[in-house]
Structures are given as C-alpha cells and as structure tokens.
Amino acid sequence: QAIRFYYLYNHWAIRVAIYFFIFLNLSLALFEEPAVYPLPFLATSLIEVLCLCAFFGRLVQFAKVTPRTVFWKDTKNICVMLTILLTLLDLIIYGSLRVFNIHSVRWSRFLRPLFLINFPESRQIRRVFRSIRNTLPEVLYVFLLLMFNVLMFSLMALKLFGDRNLKTVEGSSYFTNLLDIMFDLYVLVTTANSPDVMMPAYNLDWRYSLFFITYIVINTYIFMSVFLAVVYNNYRKHLKNEVRKLAYMKRHKMIEAFNILKTKEGTEFVVKEAQWKQLVKIVAPDISNSHRELLLRISDEEQKGYVDKKCFLRLADLLNIQVITIKFKRHPLEIWMPHVYKSSGSLFVQKVVQHRVFVWIYDVIIIINAVFIALDEKNPLISYAEWVFLSLYIIEILLKLYTYEPKTFFARNQFWNWFDSLIIIAALMATIANAAIKSVIEYNSQQILDIVFVLRLLRLIRIVDSIQRFRVIMTTLINIIPTMLTFGGLVLVVYYMFAIIGMELFQDKVLFFSESSTDPHALDCGNPALEDSTFARSRYCKNNFNDLASSFIVLMELTVVNQWHDILSAAKLFFIAFHIVVVILIVNIFVAFILEAFFVEYSLEKSEIETTIEKKIQELGMGIQEENIPDGQLIDNMETNENDLSGGEEMQRQSSEGLFFRIASKRYRTVDALLQQMFESEISPEDEGPSLDEILNLSPSDMHPKNPTFENSA
C-alpha cells in the first residue's frame, strides 16, 4: 500500500495540479487590489484558502511517503507550513479589519513565492538560490570595495565641483551634497546617466572629464567584470559540488542495492543475470527488451551469466545514457494500401521530398515570403499571396508526413519539425478564425491579426536552420531553453516579491492618463511633485506600481537599467536594493550560465561510458548480417536532413531484428545533463564515495535526484 501511495504521490496529474495551484496563488495578485482585473475580496480569499488547502494536502501526502525524522528535519516542509499558517493569519486579520472598514496591508502576499521555491519539484530554483547564498559573502566584499570606491570618488567630486556653482540641465545645483553625489555616481556605475552627469563639469573644462572616465573604467568596466567573475566562479564551484554530491549518493545507493542482491559466485560477490534483469525491469520499465539485452551484454562482457560489482555500479550511468531504440516502423500508408504507396508515382514523390533541392526550394519560398511581408499589406494581391504561402507550407508538411513515418517525424528530438508544424497549424487556425470573425462582424479583430503577423514571421526563423554555422549557435540556444525556465522561475520569484513591496509602497503615486485625456493632471502624471520632471516629459506615466502587470514591466525596465534613475528617483533605496539583487546577482548568474553552456558545447567530448555502449552496439551490429532495407533510407535521410556534422551520432542497424540503436547526439540534450556528465567524468570509477557521515550531512533536498534508478532502488 505504501508503494501505491508513493506512486500516487509521484502521479503526474497531482504534480500538475500542484503547479496549477501555485500559479493560481501567485496570479491572485492580478485580481486583488490594486488589480488589473478586480475581483471582490471574498472571491480571491476563497481561492487563496483553496490553494492553501491544496498545499497542505500535498504536504500531508509527502509526510506519508517520507520517514518522520527526515520530514521534520527538512527546512522546506517547515517553511511551507509556516507560510500556510502566516497566510491564514493574515487573511483572517485583513478580513476582519475589512469588516470594520479599516484598510490594512496584505503582507503575506510577499510570502507567496515561497510555495514555488519550497515544493520538492522546484529543485532547480532552490539550487540557484543556494548558489546565490553561497556567492553572497564574496559578492558582498566586492560590493563593499565598490562602495568604498564610490565614496572616495564622491568625496573627490564634492571637493572638485562642489564650490563651482555649476548647474545641471534641469537647473538644480550640481554636486553639492555628498549623498546625492554618491547616488549619481552609483547610477553612473550602471551607465544609466552616462554623459548627463558629466556634462556640467565637462562644459566647464574638458580636463574634468578625466575624472569621470577614470571612474567609469574602474567601476563600470573593472568592478562589474569582477562581479561577473565572482558570481561565475562560485556558480561553477557550487554546481560542481552539487553534481559531485549527487554522483556520490548514486554510487552509495548502488552499493546498497548490490549488497541486497548479491550472491556468492566463486571468490567474489556478484548479481545473477535473472535478478539483474528483474531489477532493470522495475527500475526502468520504459526501455525495450532489446535495449535491456544490450545493457546486459555491456555489463556482463564475457556472458558469464552474472554481473560483477564494478559493472553493476555502472548500471545507473548506463541507464542515464539515452539509447534510442528505433523500431522499423513501416509508414502507416504502406500498411494500409501498399500498392498505392509503393507505386512509381508515389516513390517519385518520396524521392523528391527527400532530396536536398526540396529543402532549398522551400528556403527560397521563405525568402520570397519575407520580402512580401516587408511590402505593404494594403495591396490585395499581396494579402492573397499570404494564402498561397500558407498553403505551400501546409503542402510541405503533408508531403513530409507522406514520405517519413509520422512517429519518426515527430520524434522528441526533431525540434524544427515540431516548431514548423505548430506554427503552421496555429497560423492556419488564426487565419480561419479571423476570416470567420470578419464574415460575421465585418471587421478584423486586431488581436488575431497581430497574432497572425507574429506567426507569419516566426515561420521565417526556420531558414536559420539551413545554414550550418547558425545551427551550432541555435542548437546551444535551444538546449538552454529548459534551464532558462528555471531562471524564469527565479526571476518570477524575485520580481513578485519586489512587485508586492513596490505596490504597497508606491501604489497610485503615479497615475496614467490616456493620450486624449483632458485632465489637467495628465501632464504631471497625477502627482504635483512630478511637474515638469524628466519623468513626466518623457511620458513615463505608465511606468508605475498601480497593478501587478505594470509593476512587472517597471521592474523589467529597471533590470535593463537604462533611465532607471528617472523612472523613480524618489525611492532610491528600493532601486539600489533591486539593482544589487537583480542586476548584480541574477543577471550575472544568467550570463554565467550562458557562458558555461557555450563552453560546455565547445569543449565536451564523448564520455567514456558512451564510448563503451557505442562499441558494444557496433560489435553486436558487426555480428549480424546487414541487409539493405529501403526503410533504412528514412533514418539516413533524416540524418542528412539534419546535417549534423558534430559526429555525435552513431547508428548501427540490427536489421534482422528490425531495430536501430542510436546514442542520442549532443544536440537537444539539456546543458544541465551535459554539465553533470562533464563533472561526473572527474570522479574516478573506483571511488566508493564519501563516508556515511557526509551523506548524512547532505541536505534532504538532494534526496531526490533526477536519476530514476536511484530513486526506485532506494
């Protein structure tokens, strides 16, 4: 029953539900005051209670599948429980005060992202947070040094320019107050007020520009790079450490499993073949019989009927390598109506589609399409041409589906096929929807038209994949996407917290009036203090904290840094805090992450174990008579079509069994996996891992690594 409970706990539907509730809970801020779409307090509070119940239920479920001591030691469970309690408390207080018409602050909203961080599924986000926490001390020292520097330069500026009676463009006095100077120079570090802050002094004497140039070189260029270096170095160190921990844990668990299953055979302990097979079946139910057979052959090199300890310990790694078993699948059409599909006309079509020229023709079509898009839409001839292009693309996909086996065409690693098809189908649907709406209300829906435009342009991206040099870059970028989502989560958490604080602090301080408004306050954004300021003159009134969407956009603008001193100069501390957290820490981690991804892509070679498997596949392939089956063409062509020159793909046909084995190429593997592989290769295979002490010291969040083997063998 415990196992059934465990499976229920791990059921995908429940996980999805929890994520749904987390995002529902987060999105409540959209409907609460200050709201984008206002809902009554009763509705939002009911939804919030519902979410809290869901979180509590999940926690109870987790408690049932975890030993009690482990559960209560885990800070994240306690954190979730506390957050639930505090949120309930806040709801009750706020609700009861509301009954008496007393307005109070919903402070617990600030805690909502904690649910996202602390649920076991968001391990990645926690990892980044831990990485940030470990980086903090070092970043702090560099930051202190930077602030010392800013202070020194500010004192210098005060002495040099304070007594000159200079005026800024806005007419206020220039560099007379130490705190203002420090803020101005801090902003200069971010380059946001770059020439402006210098101009009054420069206009006086060109030699004073040397002061600012020195400052920029030291603080903007050198110190910002030092921040990147520190963050990057720590990110790497931390990542390496975590991966090493995981690898040791895995090995430890594998040894445990071995000790349970072992039987004595001669002088050494081994695991019998039957038990080994059973284990693999339980651990990895998805893999095919032939794949399992392949793994056995690798583990039991000499076919002695058992697997020794060293080979057994490698099992987890073996299972982690994606060996794609490709079954010979005949095209469904070939099965249903073989005569038609195998007719000469049909074969000719297939040959044409498989030919390189077919790809080139469509590249030309895409370019022509791009030119048409750039031309004026008003001409009816051109808007009809759009239909022609759409149908051409649809024909392309249908032809390809006719030629290639659909499941192969939509295999998991065929990114561009998926991309193409989704874009085209979406464009088709949007165009039809637009036509339908037009015929009913005789008017184009602007939203749908916008979507159609965007989809049309996205189609053009495919041409990038035709050029080899671009593919490498694109592949890395595509590989980065999954981990980028982690950063998305991280940024969401930080933005959400800052947005909630910002909304409480600055709500309705700045109002937006539409273009046509005749309100006298339209010129000062509804705030007399802003009259005639750069902020109002640049029409930044919509950059405010009046609802969640606006807050997020303002925070995004602050992340980009430019003009941020203008956006809200009144709240200097808020913005400096935001700058330190987001720009110095998170953006640098993001940059570090992209750098690392590219370096891995540039440097990684095949791992030792992969080579072993490949050799084995080749050996087995060599032992079997090869036949030339026309369907083999399909895979070959797909390969050619992919133009993969990385040499990372090895393919061997086991024709008699109608099977292909293939090691998934480096393309389309996540950077995380590549990194883990890189670091794991540094641990020697003989290393039995750390002592039990160290494993006990590992934080519980590490108890569920990605590796399926270990999770089940435990």
CA dist., res. 677 & res. 63, Å (int): 33
Residue type, 341: Y
Q: Closest Cα to residue 652, out of 335, 289, 301, 290? A: 290
453 near a copy of itself, rule: CB under 8 A: yes
Binding test (CB under 8 A) with a copy of itself, winner from 475, 483, 527, 543: 543
Q: What are 190's two structure tokens? A: 């971010």
Residue type, 167: K
Give the contact letters, 650-689, x = binds to a copy of itself (CB under 8 A), - = no.
Answer: ----------------------------------------
540 near a copy of itself, rule: CB under 8 A: yes
155 near a copy of itself, rule: CB under 8 A: yes
Residue 697 CB, nearest approach to a copy of itself (Å): 25
> 537 or 706: whose CB is closer to a copy of itself?
537
Q: Which stretch binds a copy of itself (CB under 8 A): 117-125, 138-146, 262-270, 652-660?
A: 138-146
470 near a copy of itself, rule: CB under 8 A: yes
Binding test (CB under 8 A) with a copy of itself, winner from 241, 562, 643, 701: 562
Binding test (CB under 8 A) with a copy of itself, winner from 549, 571, 664, 695: 549
Cβ-Cβ contacts under 8 Å for 568 (sequence gap 6 or more): 506, 535, 543, 554, 574, 575
Q: Closest Cα to residue 403, out of 356, 333, 338? A: 333
Residue 181 CB, nearest approach to a copy of itself (Å): 11
21 near a copy of itself, rule: CB under 8 A: no
Q: Which stretch binds a copy of itself (CB under 8 A): 52-60, 412-420, 446-454, 611-619?
A: 446-454
Peptide bond into 34 cis (omega under 30): yes
CB atoms within 10 A of CB 470: 12
Q: Which stretch binds a copy of itself (CB under 8 A): 3-11, 402-410, 427-435, 447-455?
A: 447-455
Could you say which residues in the range 591-610 bind a copy of itself, by CB under 8 A?
591, 594-595, 597-599, 602
> 138 or 657: whose CB is closer to a copy of itself?
138
Q: What are 231's two structure tokens? A: 């963050």
* Beta-sheet strands, E only, within 576-641: none
The C-alpha angle with vertex 296 and arms to 290 and 297, in degrees rounded to 5, equals 90
Q: What is the CA radius of gyration of the chain?
A: 31
72 near a copy of itself, rule: CB under 8 A: no
Q: Which stretch binds a copy of itself (CB under 8 A): 56-64, 350-358, 583-591, 660-668?
A: 583-591
- How are the residues of the chain apportioned to helix, strand and coil, as percentages rounded to the nearest 5? 70, 5, 25
> 328 or 512: whose CB is closer to a copy of itself?
512
CA dist., res. 636 & res. 404, Å (int): 11
Q: In what order do the strands lie in the sheet with 659-663?
A: 323-327, 659-663, 651-654
30 near a copy of itself, rule: CB under 8 A: no
Could you say which residues in the range 369-428 bind a copy of itself, by CB under 8 A?
370, 373-374, 377
Burial class (CB in 10 A: 0-12, 13-18, 19+), 677: buried
Q: Which stretch binds a copy of itself (CB under 8 A): 136-144, 400-408, 420-428, 612-620?
A: 136-144
Binding test (CB under 8 A) with a copy of itself, winner from 50, 82, 145, 347: 145
Give 652's strand partners. Answer: 661
Residue 479 CB, nearest approach to a copy of itself (Å): 12
159 near a copy of itself, rule: CB under 8 A: yes
560 near a copy of itself, rule: CB under 8 A: yes
136 near a copy of itself, rule: CB under 8 A: no
Which 3 state secondary structure label does DSSP give 287?
coil
Residue with the two structure tokens 């220039």: 174
142 near a copy of itself, rule: CB under 8 A: yes
Binding test (CB under 8 A) with a copy of itself, winner from 469, 622, 623, 647: 469
| 659-663/651-654 β-pairing | antiparallel
CA dihedral defined by 403, 405, 407, 409, rounded to 10 degrees?
A: -30
Task: Give the H/E segment covering residue 227.
Answer: helix 224-261
Could you say which residues in the range 307-346 bind a copy of itself, by CB under 8 A?
none
Binding test (CB under 8 A) with a copy of itself, winner from 590, 646, 664, 704: 590
Binding test (CB under 8 A) with a copy of itself, winner from 539, 608, 633, 714: 539
CA dist., res. 318 & res. 250, Å (int): 13
CA dist., res. 607 & res. 598, Å (int): 18
Q: Which stretch binds a copy of itself (CB under 8 A): 315-323, 379-387, 538-546, 678-686?
A: 538-546
Could you say which residues in the range 174-233 bind a copy of itself, by CB under 8 A?
178, 191-196, 198-200, 202-203, 206, 209, 213, 216, 220-222, 225-226, 228-230, 232-233
Residue with the two structure tokens 């802050």: 197
Binding test (CB under 8 A) with a copy of itself, winner from 422, 556, 570, 576: 556
548 near a copy of itself, rule: CB under 8 A: no
Residue 381 CB, nearest approach to a copy of itself (Å): 17
Q: Which stretch binds a copy of itself (CB under 8 A): 247-255, 261-269, 588-596, 664-672?
A: 588-596
Could you say which residues in the range 494-523 bind a copy of itself, by CB under 8 A?
512, 514-515
Q: Closest Cα to residue 372, out of 453, 465, 463? A: 453
17 near a copy of itself, rule: CB under 8 A: no
CA dist., res. 196 & res. 159, Å (int): 20
Residue 152 CB, nearest approach to a copy of itself (Å): 6
- Count residues near a copy of itself (CB under 8 A): 84
Cβ-Cβ contacts under 8 Å for 303 (sequence gap 6 or more): 297
Residue 202 CB, nearest approach to a copy of itself (Å): 6
Residue 602 CB, nearest approach to a copy of itself (Å): 5
* Distance (Å) of CA 576 to CA 559, 561, 582, 595: 11, 11, 10, 26
> 18 or 525: whose CB is closer to a copy of itself?
525
CB atoms within 10 A of CB 519: 10
Q: Closest Cα to residue 342, out of 406, 636, 327, 351? A: 351
